[in-house]
């Protein structure tokens, strides 16, 4: 009798643990009535009313957010936002999941001081780097505000100007006072998102995907 009670209590504990298990969720794509959600590292595409193998039910979705139900509790999930089902959405950290392009580079649209700038994620670059054309297009007075120096490029030693950017943003990830360099030439053709931005985030690989999220 005692052994039966112990087994019953053990089974109850297992069931309870499963019901209240926490899940890491992140919306990677949203459209009307459909959502692509990364659930515990696994990509799932759900339509409204469908439930994932992990028990996550999509209640509603549009281009800006998805409403999901976990263990009978509903929560809103915004694009690139990573949350844990064990916490309220207010405790969520912002995150971004990037897939490599055809050339293997991670490309992402971003902003510098509110102006749109496409980036290549470059873990080998010390700072955010751009050529003079990009700097002029977004209105940086790099020759006035920057500290002159030199950098070595494929074409040889080139004049460069070091400065601090007020704000750099990629999707929901935004940092202020980011060190950068403007190379007074045509290189790089696309701005580089270097370590002055990346080393202030948590970064990890998820297969071929690159995940960035705020600390």
CA atoms within 13 A on the CB side of 28: 20
What is the tens place of the pLDDT at every residue in 88-136? 444 456 788 888 888 889 999 999 999 999 999 999 999 999 999 999 9
Domains of the chain in sequence order: 23-91 (2.30.30.830), 107-214 (2.40.70.10)
pTM: 0.62
Tell me how far the alpha carbon of residue 75 is from its chain's centroid: 20
Give the residue among 119, 161, 173, 113 at the shortest CA–CA distance from 139. Answer: 113
**Which band of pLDDT confidence, cut at 50, 70 and 90, is reported for residue 215?**
confident
Beta bridge partners of 117: 110
* Other beta carbons within 10 Å of 135: 24
Band (pLDDT 50/70/90 cuts) for residue 85 is low
Q: Are 179 and 164 in contact (CB under 8 A)?
A: yes
């Amino acid at each position: 009798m005692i052994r039966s009670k112990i087994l019953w209590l053990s089974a109850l504990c297992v069931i309870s643990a499963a019901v209240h298990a926490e899940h890491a969720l992140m919306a990677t794509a949203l459209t009307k009535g459909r959502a692509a959600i990364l659930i515990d590292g696994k990509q799932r595409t759900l339509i409204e009313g469908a439930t994932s193998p992990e028990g996550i039910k999509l209640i509603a979705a549009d281009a800006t957010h998805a409403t999901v139900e976990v263990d009978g509790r509903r929560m809103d999930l915004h694009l690139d936002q990573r949350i844990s089902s064990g916490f309220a959405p207010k405790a969520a950290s912002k995150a971004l999941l990037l897939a490599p392009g055809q050339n293997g580079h991670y490309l992402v649209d971003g902003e510098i001081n509110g102006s749109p700038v496409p980036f290549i994620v470059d873990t080998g670059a010390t700072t955010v780097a751009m050529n003079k054309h990009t700097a002029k297009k977004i209105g940086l007075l790099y020759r006035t505000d920057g500290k002159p120096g030199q950098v070595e490029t494929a074409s040889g030693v080139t004049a460069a100007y070091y400065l601090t950017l007020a704000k750099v943003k990629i999707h929901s990830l935004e940092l202020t006072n980011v060190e950068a360099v403007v190379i007074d030439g045509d290189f790089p053709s696309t701005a580089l998102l270097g370590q002055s931005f990346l080393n202030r985030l948590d970064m990890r690989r998820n297969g071929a995907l690159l995940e960035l999220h705020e600390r």
